[in-house]
Structure 1
Amino acid sequence: MDDFLAARLQMAFSLGFHIVFACIGMVMPFFMSVAHFYWLKTKKVVYKDVTKAWSKGVAIFFATGAVSGTVLSFELGLLWPTFMEHAGPIFGMPFSLEGTAFFIEAIALGFYLYGWDKLNKWFHWFTGVVVGISGLLSGILVVAANAWMNSPAGFDFVDGKYINIDPIKAMFNEAWFSQALHMSVAAFVSTGFAVAGVHAVMILRGKNVLFHSKAFKIAAVFGTVAACLQPISGDISAKDVAHRQPAKLAAMEAHFHTERNAPLIIGGIPDTANKKVDYAIKIPGLLSFMTTGDFNGEVKGLDVIPKEDHPPVAVTHYAFQVMVGLGVAMVLIALLYFLALYKKKQWLKSRWLLKLFVIATPMGFIALEAGWTVTEVGRQPWIINGVMRTSDAVTPMPGIAYSFYLFTAVYISLAIIVSLLLYRQITMVGKLYDSTSKLPKN
């Protein structure tokens, strides 16, 4: 394995782990705060038990997110020193502000975890809300830095030098809103379905049914509402990518030829040698409409982009198809759940509906990883789109492959430990509030 590939794999592996921890850490505090609010308003002990159980999960993911995020910041300097040398002064502001948000989050979490029966009850609840808001802001600020890599702004590049630097313009670049919106909604979708799925498993097993039913409903509502909003944010992102990064859009859709009335491609196997897609379902004109608002609008293909600037088409296309396919599946589950809530209440205790959520447990995070693959791989061969190539930014230090093996081992160990802690927490949780309520066997 050469050092360039090892550096890219290490960054991808680290980010792939961190994004899961970060998204759960961003979203779970909101679940926790809703359960806490119900406890304050209803005085039903089950909601207090749910709140305390979830607060322990928030603490676990806060710690693991902090560790994995710190590692990523070191990796930027270790693996991509040329990139950081030039880009650091330009997009450093969102990282600095993210540090401030993280600091506030840590303080608020400390108040929340140790404030039971010591603080004013509403102030205590408010500190939990602050944990969620500051965590969400942290995620948005980091995404703003990534968006800058896709849509560089806030500087002039003249004779190989970066001049006239404007950090505010860099942070609020053209891509930041669409990426931040899409990423934030994705965090709620993935975490909502994952948490709901875990509680659905416990309900199906007949363990502490009332406790897990209350927890399931809160998570399921968050996840399903977000799932229905995700196509809207996805449409905004697709239009933005079509405008700024036509090569990425062409790779996402395996769109080899510039044309009007461009079809939307569903599935298929890209054949880059012959510039075609085999076994695909094509819907005429839909890609043109989705990107330009006109069924006869022109969509740029890879044929107008220099070959050396082509992203890896197959990886980008497959990742995009996985993301969209799983997103559609979760929207369908969401619609069934809404129908159950408002029209078919008997479905809410049916085993088949719970089993759908169990099946959907990993869907959100798989879609999340696929989406980040599209974002990062689709930008290649650029680390700063149109300005700096990834190959020019990598460290000249030898032996990166060994660093990759070491970091991979650390992250796998971290994942195993976190999984064991969560399993222990889930199996023990709710024992203080047991219920004899059972589900029908049909």
Structure 2
Amino acid sequence: MDLDPLLLSRLQFAFTISFHILFPAFTIGLAWWIVVLEAVWLSTNRPIFRSLSEFWMKIFAISFGMGVVSGIVMSYQFGTNWSRWSDVVGNVLGPLIQYEVVTAFFLEAAFLGIMLFGRDRVPRPIHFVATCMVALGTLISSFWILSANSWMHTPAGYEIRDGRFFVTDWWEVVFNPSFPYRLSHMLTATFLTTSFVVAGFSAWYLLKDRHVEHARQGLTWSLGLITVLAPLQVLLGDMHGLNTLEHQPAKIAAMEGHWEGGAGAPLILFGIPDMEEERNHYEIGIPALSSLILTHSLTGVVPGLKEFPPENRPNATIIFFSFRIMVGIGLLMVLAAVLHLFLRWRGTLFENRAFMRFLIAMTPSGFVALEMGWITTEVGRQPWIVNGLFRTADAVTPALTGAAALTTLLAFVVVYAIIYIAGSYYLTVMLRTGPNPPSEYMQPRDLAREAGRPKRPLSKADETFAAGD
């Protein structure tokens, strides 16, 4: 049996990136959640916020480490499996990736030690600043990585000389046409992912009647963010879709399951796209709704896959379903936001056990939506590695053999299985155990320091809450 190095290299990259993306996406939102907790603790001196901060900081440390380990593998693959890609686009993407290392990774590395181990060794404001710098580093990292990836979808600011890409305008390269939409959509997804993890485990604590005050704080903050971001994500997704329609119409046609296209195209709710027969089996659709969503007109014209040569079409069977799973999860997130507002209005938010179970079920929803979104994005770009200019088949290392690609793929499967099963198990144990009691963080030095500060009068609610802590 002949082993196809291209297919195996794509499988290897898909496998490693599918694991890698989970941890950076989680830590971006988690870093800013810790910033919020640190800011509230710094301003109120209520020990429950320090307890929550230190608890989630442990989760952050493990997730950050696992993200770094999996990210190192990505850079090696560029040289071993995709050397032609590195050679052809290196003048454009090499500096962008290097900027990420210099501006983001170094920033995180400089302050991560203070954040994780310096709480009782530096003044509290300095520790807070270090936490903010780590969180800022995660955003800067996202900026450069999304810029580089977006450029491959909507290349700009380049010229091709002797088969290689050269930069003519760095501003156009960095802020390429799809970058603002993809960055905002991705960052919102990371915050939603973290919010549902916090909300899910807080709901689980409430159902188990454990860490009740921690859970109430976690639910209050996370559901507040979900209520704002879930509807916003729908709007951002619509704007991203319109941008994709302009620059990658074949991807939109595959996502929507349209073969003919044209005016008044239906929104296909279900179907099974058949790439060989060029049609959908068991199709169920709503007339004209796809045109309305994509063009904001019932008679708007949308593209069909038959408008593109078969060799230039993405795999509609894969992204048709991945796109619908992502959208379905997004609608469930909006439902969570609506239910939160309703229960908050009724005054039964923390007592509604059915809603708590719903939040527990939604705990991994952000991770699943992220995976489905990246499958839709990356499979939808095929067969191009630089959209319309450079094919994926031409980017693989020429001397790479199928046996070598299979060996590294199997090695990664084994290593990742060991690392991620162990890491995920440890994270689960920590999350199930929960935070320490806030009283453990009131050390004699803290009490003496706080005793010398003027205290603001406590409200009745503050006194009751402090007594409960």
Matched, 1:166 2:146: no
User: 56, 60, 63: which one pairs with 1:61?
Assistant: 63
Matched with 2:408 is 403
**Matched residues, number:** 434
2:170 & 2:423 partners in 1: Cα distance? Answer: 37
Matched, 1:429 2:434: yes
Q: 1:219 to 1:109 in 2, by over 3 A?
A: farther
**AA in 2 matched with 1:262:** A
For the aligned residue pairs, the C-alpha RMSD in angstroms reads 1.9
Matched with 2:34 is 32
1:224 & 1:365 partners in 2: Cα distance? Answer: 18
The SS at the match of 1:22 is helix
**AA in 2 matched with 1:403:** T
User: 324, 327, 332: which one pairs with 1:329?
Assistant: 332
Shift of 1:159: 6.1
Shift of 1:163: 4.3
The SS at the match of 1:347 is coil
Matched with 1:71 is 73
2:216–2:350 Cα contact (<8 Å) kept = no
2:66 & 2:273 partners in 1: Cα distance? Answer: 38
**AA in 1 matched with 2:360:** V
Matched with 1:7 is 9
Gaps of 5+ in 1: 438-442
**AA in 1 matched with 2:333:** M
Question: Can you list the C-alpha shifts for 1:364-423, whole angstroms capped at 9, x where unaligned?
Answer: 111110000001101111111111111111123121011001111111222112112212
Matched with 1:151 is 154
1:160 & 1:107 partners in 2: Cα distance? Answer: 40
1:190–1:363 Cα contact (<8 Å) kept = yes
Matched with 2:386 is 384
2:328 & 2:415 partners in 1: Cα distance? Answer: 32
1:191–1:223 Cα contact (<8 Å) kept = no
Matched, 1:314 2:317: yes
Range with greater deviation from structure 2 (206-215 or 241-250): 206-215
Matched with 1:251 is 254
1:278 & 1:16 partners in 2: Cα distance? Answer: 29
1:324 & 1:418 partners in 2: Cα distance? Answer: 29
The SS at the match of 2:272 is strand
Q: 1:286 to 1:96 in 2, by over 3 A?
A: same
After TM superposition, the structure 1 = structure 2 runs for residues 275-286 of structure 1, keeping only pairs within 5 Å, are 275-286=278-289
After TM superposition, the structure 1 = structure 2 runs for residues 28-427 of structure 1, keeping only pairs within 5 Å, are 28-99=30-101, 100-157=103-160, 160-163=163-166, 165-341=168-344, 343-395=345-397, 396-398=399-401, 399-427=404-432
2:84–2:395 Cα contact (<8 Å) kept = yes
2:164 & 2:220 partners in 1: Cα distance? Answer: 54
Gaps of 5+ in 2: 440-464
1:189–1:224 Cα contact (<8 Å) kept = no
Question: Can you list the C-alpha shifts for 1:63-104, whole angstroms capped at 9, x where unaligned?
Answer: 111111111111122111101111111122321221121110
Question: Can you list the C-alpha shifts for 1:284-326, whole angstroms capped at 9, x where unaligned?
Answer: 2222222223221211111111111011110010100111011
2:148–2:174 Cα contact (<8 Å) kept = yes
2:36 & 2:257 partners in 1: Cα distance? Answer: 43
Q: What's the % identity of the aligned pairs?
A: 35
Question: Can you list the C-alpha shifts for 1:319-347, whole angstroms capped at 9, x where unaligned?
Answer: 00111011111111111112223x12213
2:110 & 2:206 partners in 1: Cα distance? Answer: 35
2:167 & 2:412 partners in 1: Cα distance? Answer: 37
2:228 & 2:136 partners in 1: Cα distance? Answer: 18
**AA in 2 matched with 1:389:** R
2:142 & 2:426 partners in 1: Cα distance? Answer: 24
1:347 & 1:277 partners in 2: Cα distance? Answer: 44
The SS at the match of 1:4 is helix
The SS at the match of 1:349 is coil
Shift of 1:274: 3.7
TM-score (norm 2): 0.88
The SS at the match of 1:281 is strand
The SS at the match of 1:348 is coil
Shift of 1:26: 0.8
1:322–1:370 Cα contact (<8 Å) kept = yes
The SS at the match of 2:385 is strand
Range with greater deviation from structure 2 (199-208 or 256-265): 199-208
2:283 & 2:204 partners in 1: Cα distance? Answer: 36
